[in-house]
Copies of this chain bind each other. A is one copy, B any other.
Amino acid sequence: MSKEKTDQLNRSIIEFYDRLSAWENNVVRNKDYSLAQIHTLEVLGTYGSLRMKELAEKLGITTGTLTVQVDKLAKAELVERIPHESDRRSFLIKLTETGHQLYLEHDALHLKLTEKISQSLTETEAQTLVSCLKKMNADF
């Protein structure tokens, strides 16, 4: 791909990321749970139960930070620590029923946003977009 095209793609990605990021901030403000907490639920909902280390990696934070975050979420009964079956050093962090409910609520907002911003795409464009995103996610 030409330098110029990559540059254009880069711009568009950054702008898209910025907008999504601002949207997340605003959606979460004045709610009962913070962005960091909702984001944690979001990742758990998306990827399923994860170990501390895996979860921290997906969130881009250290395990130290995550420990206190999970403490809070566990106290609020949104999440529970399940002892790992074969590694006694580890837990699986798992959404509780309530946590999963909250995740679904937040996800519904995402879905509404996705509907809104994809409205002007044609069927084929949307198709290609999904396949591009999947490829990119795989190459991260």
Contact of A125 among B12, B14, B116, B132 (CB under 8 A): B132
Partner of A15, one of B46, B121, B128: B46
Contacts of A135 in B (CB 8 A): 117, 120-121
For chain A, the count of residues having a C-beta within 8 Å of the partner chain is 60
Residue of A13, A57, A115 with most partner-chain B CB within 10 A = A13
Residues of B with C-beta under 8 A to A134: 12
Q: Which residue of B lies closest to A16 (CB)?
A: B133
A59 to chain B, nearest CB (A): 6
Whether A13 lies near B119 (C-beta < 8 A) is no
Q: Are A61 and B25 in contact (CB under 8 A)?
A: yes
> A residues bordering B, Cβ < 8 Å?
1, 5-26, 39, 42-43, 46, 57-61, 107, 110-111, 114-121, 123, 125-140
Known: A18-B39, A121-B132. 19 other contacts (CB 8 A): A1-B121, A5-B126, A6-B114, A9-B114, A11-B46, A12-B133, A13-B114, A14-B42, A14-B110, A16-B133, A16-B137, A18-B43, A19-B137, A21-B21, A21-B39, A21-B60, A22-B58, A23-B60, A25-B61
